[in-house]
Amino acid sequence: MKVGEEIMSIHISNDERLFHIETKNSSYVFRVLENQQLQHLYYGKRIHVKENYGNLASYQTRGFEVAYTATEEQIQLSMIQNEYASYGKGDFRHPAYQVQDATGSRITELKYQGYTLSTGKKRLEILPSTFDDEGDRSEVLTITLKDDLIGLVVKLNYTVFPDQNVIVRNVEFINEGPSDLKLLKAMSLQLDLSDDEFDFIHFSGAWLRERQLYRTALRPGLQSIDSLRYSSSPQNNPFFMLSRKNTTEESGEVYGFNLVYSGNFQNSIEVDHFSTTRVLVGMNPVEFEYLLEPKKSFITPEAIMSYSAQGMNALSQQLAIFYREHLVNPRFAKRPRPIVLNSWETMYFNLTTDKVLELARCGQRLGVELFVLDDGWFGHREGDNSSLGDWTTDYRRLPKGISYIADEIHKMGMQFGLWFEPEMISIDSELYCTHPEWMISTPHRKPSVGRHQYVLDFTNQEVIDYLFEAISSIIQETKLEYIKWDYNRHITDAFTATLLPTKQMEFGHRYILGVYQLLERLTKAYPEVLFESCSSGGGRFDLGMMYYAPQAWTSDDTDPIERLKIQHGTSYGYSLSMMSAHVSASPNEQSGRRTSLDTRAAVAYFGVFGYELDVTALEAVEAEKVKEQIHFYKKYREVFQYGNFYRIRSPFEDDVVDWQVVSSDKSTSILLHTSLISHLNPGYSLVKFCGLDEDKRYTIAGMDEEFFGDELMNAGIKIIPEGAENGPVISTPEYQSHLLIVEEIKD
């Protein structure tokens, strides 16, 4: 049937009461109620566009629930799915926002005023955001709401990216009244679902065990993940999913949510007494207030939501494509990422020019493309208790300077990178002696300390300007191609002299805006420098940082068996090209576990590959193997970094892990099969592939037989225990990996 105004994916009824947002495979529907507030109707598998959905819009009134007003008794806000809910007018669930007016009242009534439609997604000015620079692959719906009594205007923004089944949401609050308003809570996304038959899947952990998978059934009441560390944190990642109870990697309904933000966040799921599920995604309201003066506005970070009816692999794949097309810096989004050799685990703080160049030369002979000099090159830093903030060469240990090292490495044909921790300051530093007031601390109280270091006040523009000049000088001096941006302690003693007492609760958000400002200035001034985020490993693995730094050090834990869990969990919400994964020494420094060089490399292939290894100490056989590994990764780099990734068997559920990447044209695929424990008198393992073309013919490296795609996907391949050809196998080695290389047969 003919519906009113529409632009490709956004349909609006003739009477302006119904809004239907479509993606390739999903629909999102809401309407305007009789009291001019918004009722959410549906989000899920794509349905036909209609003028109205009477059944979905129907609701009941119940005893002991509160009517909106005496003249609108038929509306009980607690009995409907709301689109962006307030508190205090009958909806007793946790609200999406809260505003306090000049009288101290927190009651607001947002009424529908109208809408606007546009094509092309613009970038936000002071926050990292999704984008559509070409202007033809997205549509934007903005709903304007207003509370006339206090002059509060709220704009709900919905950007639809149809091809990736993604809807991006954020909210703008504008004070058009005569008096100050105080914003107490401002979530970016609310979604009310009509039932509670879901599992809550989130990725929590700690340093060295980031993003472990937890899957629990929803229950009545509130469940949440959050951070109050002024960073996204290794404890709870902002990405989470709601799936149907029978949803698997390959089938079933699943919703994914993420936040383009690096500071304090809160993601909550509330199941009410009638089994309605409310999802809220956004900035953490704890330790947050924002003074909204007349004519001023506040914009929330963007939240991403995506839906799949084909299981979690499909959800992850459409998110990976979306990030590549609409979030990551286009300069690096599809560019092959270089193979790295990092100095840290080889020499720690024990730097000399000769040792650095010897390590670099050895890496170059093996095929390394980017040499990274880690911590210890600046100030007078011989340990972790000094010099943070003094971003100038330590000429005592590097007498020819950092520029000499950079020049020599460039002469070897390699790129050069450096480690920075820009947000931190040491008491033992020239910067602290000159500007002690730049350190975050609370007046008249002794500051807390972490890792012998403190945090610079990024709400202070002078701090940002100083760091921009200091880092720029090093970039220019060394012709730098890469920066590892670390952040090794969380903020305490939150206070800043740059804000009035009435605005101190704005500190956390303003700090993150300062970080973004510095990154924005650096990435614009030096567009060819590749940034990698690192926060004691994976403590800032979030989309806010990914906007500037398209890859992140996934974890300080480089044990490949532990990395199977960390990378597996990370892959649900992030792409392989976002995950840095390196080969390190055995026994592993963190776990003490011994693993083969083959297994260490096989796991690290599934990400941005490199080495955290003293390659100067390798035996000849090991060096040759490393050279072969680098050659192999270069050959298949684009498949690993930008192919479709499939989780086939999980380290959280099984003692075998199967991962697979498939090129976009389905001509090449690589499958990793890793055993987590040793089996006595074992049988064979059966592995079934995913994502191939069922009619194409393929070969598998090391096997003479030809296979059709449907055979590999449905019948599978038997992996025979090593040594079986020479007699009975008593046991299989634990931590053994197999790589199955599948290539299309071209006639």
pLDDT at 82: 98
Omega before residue 728 within 30° of 0, cis: no
Question: What is the DSSP code (8-state) at residue 572?
Answer: T
Contacts of 412 by beta carbon, 8 Å cutoff, 6+ apart: 360, 361, 364
Which tens digit of pLDDT belongs to each residue from 145-192? Answer: 999 999 999 999 999 999 999 999 999 999 999 999 999 999 999 999
- Report CA 15 to chain centroid distance, whole Å: 40
pLDDT at 733: 78
C-alpha to C-alpha distance for 667 and 680, rounded to whole angstroms: 37
* Mean pLDDT over the full length of the chain: 96
Report helix, strand or coil for 162.
helix
5 falls in which pLDDT band (50, 70, 90)? confident
pLDDT at 680: 82
Distances (CA, A) of 453 to 449, 488, 601: 6, 9, 34
The structure's pTM equals 0.97
For the record, the structure tokens of 565 come out as 């869990």
For the record, the structure tokens of 603 come out as 């796991």
C-alpha to C-alpha distance for 131 and 327, rounded to whole angstroms: 6
Report helix, strand or coil for 264.
coil
Residue with tokens 């000399």: 352
C-alpha to C-alpha distance for 637 and 238, rounded to whole angstroms: 28
Contacts of 208 by beta carbon, 8 Å cutoff, 6+ apart: 537, 555, 556, 557, 562, 590
pLDDT at 729: 60
Beta pairing, strands 668-675 & 697-700: unpaired
For the record, the structure tokens of 206 come out as 């700690």
**Other residues' Cβ atoms within 10 Å of the Cβ of residue 453:** 23
Region 204-208: mean pLDDT is 98
Supply the residues annotated as catalytic: 486, 556
Which tens digit of pLDDT belongs to each residue from 562-607? Answer: 999 999 999 999 999 999 999 999 999 999 999 999 999 999 999 9
Which tens digit of pLDDT belongs to each residue from 648-694? Answer: 999 999 999 999 999 999 999 999 999 999 888 888 889 999 999 99
**Other residues' Cβ atoms within 10 Å of the Cβ of residue 439:** 21
pLDDT at 210: 98
pLDDT at 1: 34
Whether residue 3 is predicted with pLDDT greater than 60 in this model: the reply is no
Contacts of 451 by beta carbon, 8 Å cutoff, 6+ apart: 384, 488, 489
- With DSSP H G I counted as helix, E B as strand and the rest as coil, what are the percentages for the chain, rounded to 5? 25, 30, 45
> Which secondary-structure segment (H or E) carries 291?
strand 290-292
Report helix, strand or coil for 456.
strand
730 falls in which pLDDT band (50, 70, 90)? low
Query: Are the beta carbons of 282 and 266 closer than 8 angstroms?
Result: yes
Whether residue 724 is predicted with pLDDT greater than 80 in this model: the reply is no
325 falls in which pLDDT band (50, 70, 90)? very high
402 falls in which pLDDT band (50, 70, 90)? very high
331 falls in which pLDDT band (50, 70, 90)? very high
DSSP annotation string for 295-321: T-EEEPPPEEEEEESB-HHHHHHHHHH
DSSP annotation string for 51-104: S--HHHH-----TTSPPS-TT-TT--GGGS-BSS--SSSS--SPPSEEEE-TTS
723 falls in which pLDDT band (50, 70, 90)? low
Distances (CA, A) of 4 to 10, 49, 363: 10, 11, 63
Whether residue 725 is predicted with pLDDT greater than 70 in this model: the reply is no
Whether residue 698 is predicted with pLDDT greater than 90 in this model: the reply is yes
DSSP annotation string for 509-563: HHHHHHHHHHHHHHHHHSTTPEEEE-BTTBTT-SHHHHTTSSEEE--S---HHHH
**Other residues' Cβ atoms within 10 Å of the Cβ of residue 122:** 15
Nearest Cα to Cα of residue 528 among 478, 487, 576, 465: 478
**Other residues' Cβ atoms within 10 Å of the Cβ of residue 208:** 18
2 falls in which pLDDT band (50, 70, 90)? very low
Distances (CA, A) of 261 to 207, 317, 493, 537: 20, 21, 22, 18
Query: Are the beta carbons of 515 and 230 closer than 8 angstroms?
Result: no
Residue with tokens 């202070």: 460
Distances (CA, A) of 639 to 87, 299, 562, 646, 669: 49, 38, 23, 12, 8
For the record, the structure tokens of 19 come out as 């809004």
- Report CA 636 to chain centroid distance, whole Å: 24
Looking from the CA of 573 toward its CB, the CA atoms found within 13 Å total 30
- Report CA 175 to chain centroid distance, whole Å: 32
- Both ends of the chain: CA-CA distance in Å? 49
Looking from the CA of 241 toward its CB, the CA atoms found within 13 Å total 34
Q: Would you put residue 16 in left (φ > 0), alpha (ψ -120 to 50) or beta?
A: left
Which tens digit of pLDDT belongs to each residue from 64-98? Answer: 999 999 999 999 999 999 999 999 999 999 999 99
Which tens digit of pLDDT belongs to each residue from 215-225? Answer: 999 999 999 99
pLDDT exceeding 70 applies to what percent of the chain? 98
> Which secondary-structure segment (H or E) carries 660?
strand 656-662
Neighbour-count burial of 224, counting CB atoms closer than 10 A to its CB (0-12 exposed, 13-18 middle, 19+ buried): middle
Report helix, strand or coil for 600.
helix
Whether residue 208 is predicted with pLDDT greater than 90 in this model: the reply is yes
Whether residue 464 is predicted with pLDDT greater than 50 in this model: the reply is yes
pLDDT exceeding 90 applies to what percent of the chain? 95
For the record, the structure tokens of 90 come out as 């009958």
For the record, the structure tokens of 521 come out as 């200035």
Whether residue 143 is predicted with pLDDT greater than 80 in this model: the reply is yes
C-alpha to C-alpha distance for 146 and 36, rounded to whole angstroms: 10
Residue with tokens 């033809």: 136
747 falls in which pLDDT band (50, 70, 90)? confident
Query: Are the beta carbons of 659 and 646 closer than 8 angstroms?
Result: yes
